[in-house]
Amino acid sequence: MKEVVINPITRLEGHGKIVIVLDDAGNCVKAYLQVPELRGFEMFAVGRHVEDMPQITSRICGVCPTAHHMASTKALDDLYKVDPPLPAKKIREMVYNIFMLEDHALHFYILAGPDFIVGPRAPKEERNIIGVIGKVGKEVGLKIIEMRRKLRKLIEMIGGKVIHPVFGLPGGISRPLSGEIVENAKKIADEAIGFAEFTYKVFKDIVLNNKEYVNLITSEAYTHRTYYMGLVDDKNKVNFYDGKIRVVSPRGVEHAKFDIHQYSDYIAEHVEPWTYIKFPYLKKIGWIGFVDGEDSGIMSVAPLARLNASDGMATPRAQEAYEEMYETLGGKPVHHTLANHWARIIEIIYAAERFRELANDPDIASRDVRNIPTAIPDVGIGVVEAPRGTLIHHYETDERGVVKKANLLVATQHNAARIALSVDKAARSLIRNGVIDEGLLNMVEMAFRAYDPCHACGTHSLPGSIPLKIYLYNTDGNLLKIIDRIS
Amino acid sequence: MEDFEPRIIVFACNWCSYAALDLAGTSRMKYPPNFLVIKVMCSGRIDPQFIFEAFRRGADGVLVAGCHPGDCHYIEGNYKALRRMTLLRKLLESFGIEKERFRLEWISASEAEKFVSIAHEMYREIKALGPLRIEEVSKIGEA
Amino acid sequence: MEKPKIAFYWCASCGGCEESIVDLAEKILDVVNLVDIVFWPVALDFKIKDVETMPDKSVTVSFINGGIRLEEHEYVVKLLRKKSQLLVAYGACSSWGGVPGLANLFSREEILRCVYQETPTVDNLNNTRPKTKLNIEDIVTLELPEFLPRLLPIDLIVDVDYYVPGCPPTPEVTWKAIEILLSGNLPPKGSVIGASDRSLCYECHLNETKPEKVLIKEIKRPHEVIADPEKCLLTQGLVCLGPVTRGGCGALCVKAAMPCTGCFGQLDEVIDYGGKAISYFASILDYYNEEEVEKALSRLPDPMGTFYRYSLPASRLRGKIKIMER
Ligand code: SF4
Ligand code: SF4
Ligand code: SF4
Ligand code: FES
């Protein structure tokens, strides 16, 4: 048997490594995705001032720091039993949607975009943002860059910093918004709507109009029937900032809908000896290994899962796009991993629409943005939907607000088991008769990038990096060759 | 462990404490020879960084000695030292350094005996604790 | 003339330093015009193998972010040192360890136990832990890089030419640093580049409201007060580390009415950021006897996380020290 190693997996956040085992005929019999990262956040949170956690935990991930900052800040509200004034909640939710929008745009255009826009079999020198710009034209490229810059600048103006925001405090936010910021927000929100429409069009033109891509999306290699999880509002519509956690089965039936305080009744984490990442699964279904289906507790999060777990989108344009996707792909739930890209675009539309609603809400100009906590802290749990899925922070403190215990369940982790399934299946169906070329290996990586996995996040517990290497083994267990994709 | 001889650094203010140490010497009072004295102009001049540096470079204990409150030649220097060393002590604890290894004392020029008794006490306590080993982390495998 | 070759690599990084490069936005296109990027795993499809085959010293500058936490980081950083003319520690983590460096308060064993056995949701009756080598059914041996006993800044592993500070560095600072590096007019080795050489207070819009001599009676934690955004935060009792932190960010946190936590690190000549910070901060507490000072300080139960938030592994003591067995 042969082993193929892809190391590092490129264009994703965090490090990763894929090991593929081939039999003598050159067919893939097994593939492993290893996450060689660990940093130990749960441990060194202990002893810290709990109000520092929104800034400390944002360092789990500099790509989605706003998600950690927000989940953490919400855990602080809960910990100090203080309800922020409504304007503070709205400002937080607005910032959060701006963040979702720019982060999804990063993923679509810069990280995964090259696969679709430039093409999965293009030479590696071109499969990157520069290649994307070459394909869509410099003007469009600049437009994308400029939009992201404006959105991120706005987050900085409100949050203090865009990478590692500082404005979240128990009971609200650090200071009200200036008139200038409010005006700016309204203006940028209008542009964001245009940008979202434009992105939808790019997606349709380049991806949906290309038969080969559509076949790829719906191909069996990229399909798994798992549970899906996401936050929903009281009408079961997708919500990124708040709500209840809803889980649907592979058949689309509601398995559970619960308040965040019950999370540990529903979710447990499984440990494997060959990777640093832990695998959360549905406790009531149970862990039966890396298999999909109704009896396996493996669940999936992130854009497609959120859409699958909901009954629709809370804004009109996004709802239309939502219906269009399910119509095209044959109803709910959709099990094709690569449809995550489509779902992500629908979320871009929703984020832009929600951003505009909130930017035009007179409340966000209010000076009333903070309630000072008075309760003695003990336990606090917070949740948001990060771009990459459900994110849970849980702290326990002493009466001085010093952390005694922390638990962090991070989006990429919830997806880890399904990602492992995806990589294995993609490798098995794509690598046949010893044919291993660059393009094929990239297609294995694509299975993985579709989730936009962030291993920095997933392994906050361990140190962080995600390379991809291919090792070729023969059936006697001898390592024949290590292929670094390019050799 | 029996042969362990602690190395203890004394940061002594020029105007009182250093004079007291001098006096102890000229009066032939006996105290353990393990103390290395560094003279500073005022206890307010002692930066916590010096103390970290002393531990880093192999000190098993550090004594900071200054004029009694109210007697500082620079008026406020020893109050600054008091505040700094109080905060420093909390940090040293989190670094895992036992409290016996670090002391702040007020010793006037005439208090040679006070110094001698503190010296005996520190010597005894630190000897009992054993050496402070700060691992060389420039080699990554260690810890 | 051939363009300078640039490499980026991340170790135990959060990815924020990588994003900060993407945040150069339009300028990234200028960078691409000026240089050839030969290695950048987060954005480009080149692999470590590509680097191994490059001739020594063929990369003009390598930027490393993240501290050294795994064996693999050590390997790649040493490799890039060999292949590069200049090596730059980019960001707080690679310069001094950064936030993940707080893990140095705990042993490797404590961390592994906490993460894989003790968190409330973990279901691990067999006490499984990740193994660095694992043989599966005699077919394949899966390897994971070793989780090192401590997190270290990269200059404890390799020679570092320059430092770009910040968690992460701002695009302005990064751009300035790139200009300096490409100018050919290089500052002395070991310099911090791109940021200011004065303290943050000098560029803070609230500096005018800060009196010559600050004295505070009561330490306030940020959740306990609604700070007046027009008045120096330190004078309001918040632990703002502006006076001992290098300028360069434009006082971003203070603009959002939150105190500076020191992510731009120490000024030149300071050997231990935390030591310097406690020296300054303690000296402004307006108390004159030990009990009162103690009492004031009891309002700040975590001095370690406050003063060494970004620099514990670079402190003189590097983290919690090991006392020899007795
Ligand atoms: S310095 Fe800050 S932004 Fe950069 S990798 Fe470290 S934690 Fe992330
Ligand atoms: S102490 Fe902080 S708030 Fe005051 S001037 Fe300095 S940086 Fe600004
Ligand atoms: S204000 Fe301080 S903590 Fe905030 S970005 Fe600037 S240097 Fe970093
Ligand atoms: S002069 Fe002795 S303590 Fe200041």
Which range has the worst mean pLDDT, A12-16, C128-132, C171-175?
Answer: A12-16
Of the two residues C98 and C70, the one the predictor is more confident about is C98
Enumerate the residues of chain B whose CB falls inside 8 A of the CB of residue C297. 86-87, 90
Mean pLDDT of B101-111: 96
Distance B69 CA to ligand 4 centre (A): 9
In this predicted structure, the answer to whether residue B140 has a pLDDT above a threshold of 60 is no
- Residue C35, chain A, CB below 8 Å: the answer is no
Q: What is the pLDDT of chain C when averaged over all its residues?
A: 91
Mean pLDDT of C125-148: 80
ipTM: 0.94
Would you state the pLDDT for residue A10? 52
Give residues (CB < 6 A) around ligand 3.
Answer: A 161; C 200, 245, 249, 251-254, 260-264
Mean pLDDT of C188-213: 97
Which one-letter DSSP state was computed for residue C115? I
Would you state the pLDDT for residue A376? 97
Could you tell me the two tokens for A377?
């802290």
Would you state the pLDDT for residue A118? 73
Find the residue in C nearest to B52 (Cα): C316
Please, what CATH class does the domain formed by C5-99+149-183 belong to?
alpha beta
Distance C155 CA to ligand 1 centre (A): 16
pLDDT digits (tens, 9 = 90+) for A154-165: 999 999 999 999
Which range has the worst mean pLDDT, A112-116, A266-270, A344-348, A401-405?
Answer: A112-116
Which member of A10, A148, A462 has the closest CB to residue C41? A10
**CATH, domain range A39-426:** 1.10.645.10
Mean pLDDT of A237-242: 98
- Residue B45, chain C, CB below 8 Å: the answer is no
In this structure, the strands spanning A227-232 and A299-300 are parallel
Which range has the worst mean pLDDT, A188-202, C37-51, C150-164, C221-235?
Answer: C37-51
Give the DSSP H or E segment for C78.
helix C71-83
- Cβ–Cβ below 8 Å for A274 and C70: no
Atom index in ligand 4 nearest the CA of residue B17 equals 2
Enumerate the residues of chain C whose CB falls inside 8 A of the CB of residue A271. 116, 122, 124, 128-130
Contact (CB, 8 A) for C260 and A166: no
Which member of C49, C98, C122 has the closest CB to residue A59? C98
Please tell me the residue having the least CA distance from ligand 1 atom 6: C93
Please tell me the residue having the least CA distance from ligand 3 atom 8: C263
- With bands split at pLDDT 50, 70 and 90, how would you rate the model's confidence at C128? confident
pLDDT digits (tens, 9 = 90+) for B108-126: 999 999 999 999 999 999 9
Q: Which of A452, A366, A347, A316 is nearest to A98 (CA)?
A: A347
pLDDT digits (tens, 9 = 90+) for C232-261: 999 999 999 999 999 999 999 999 999 999
- With bands split at pLDDT 50, 70 and 90, how would you rate the model's confidence at C325? very low
According to CATH, where is 3.40.50.700 located in chain C? 5-99+149-183
Enumerate the residues of chain B whose CB falls inside 8 A of the CB of residue C102. none
- Cβ–Cβ below 8 Å for C66 and A275: no
First to last CA, chain B: 21
**pTM score of the predicted model:** 0.92
Which member of A21, A400, A485 has the closest CB to residue C139? A21
Enumerate the residues of chain C whose CB falls inside 8 A of the CB of residue A469. 47
Mutate to test the interface with C, among B85, B88, B94 (most CBs of C within 10 A): B94
pLDDT digits (tens, 9 = 90+) for A368-427: 999 999 999 999 999 999 998 999 999 999 999 999 999 999 887 888 888 888 778 877
Nearest chain B Cα distance for residue C295, angstroms: 11
- Cβ–Cβ below 8 Å for C289 and B69: yes
Which member of A145, A409, A454 has the closest CB to residue C121? A409
Would you state the pLDDT for residue A14? 46
- Residue C34, chain A, CB below 8 Å: the answer is no
- Residue C231, chain A, CB below 8 Å: the answer is no
Best residue among C205, C239, C240, C283 to mutate for probing ligand 2's pocket (most ligand atoms within 8 Å of CB) is: C240
Find the residue in C nearest to A449 (Cα): C42
Give the orientation angle of helix A316-329 with respect to helix A179-202, to 10 degrees.
Answer: 20
Three-state SS letters, chain A:
CEEEEECCCCCCECCCEEEEEECCCCCEEEEEEECCCEECHHHHCCCCEHHHHHHHHHHHCCCCHHHHHHHHHHHHHHHCCCCCCHHHHHHHHHHHHHHHHHHHHHHHHHHCHHHHHHCCCCCCCCCCHHHHHHHHCHHHHHHHHHHHHHHHHHHHHHHCCCCCCCCEECCEECCCCCHHHHHHHHHHHHHHHHHHHHHHHHHHHHHHCCHHHHHHHHCHHHECCCEEEEEECCCCEECCCCCEEEEECCCCCEEEEECHHHHHHHEEEECCCCCCCCEEEECCCCCCCCCCCCCCCCEECCHHHHHHHCCECCCHHHHHHHHHHHHHHCCCCCCECCHHHHHHHHHHHHHHHHHHHHHCCHHHHCCCCECCCCCCCCEEEEEEEECCEEEEEEEEECCCCEEEEEEEECHHHHHHHHHHHHHHHHHHHHCCCCCCCHHHHHHHHHHHHCCCCEHHHHCCEECCCCCCEEEEECCCCCEEEEECCCC
- Cβ–Cβ below 8 Å for C287 and B83: yes
- With bands split at pLDDT 50, 70 and 90, how would you rate the model's confidence at A464? very low
User: Exposed/middle/buried for C82, CB within 10 Å: 0-12, 13-18, 19+?
Assistant: middle
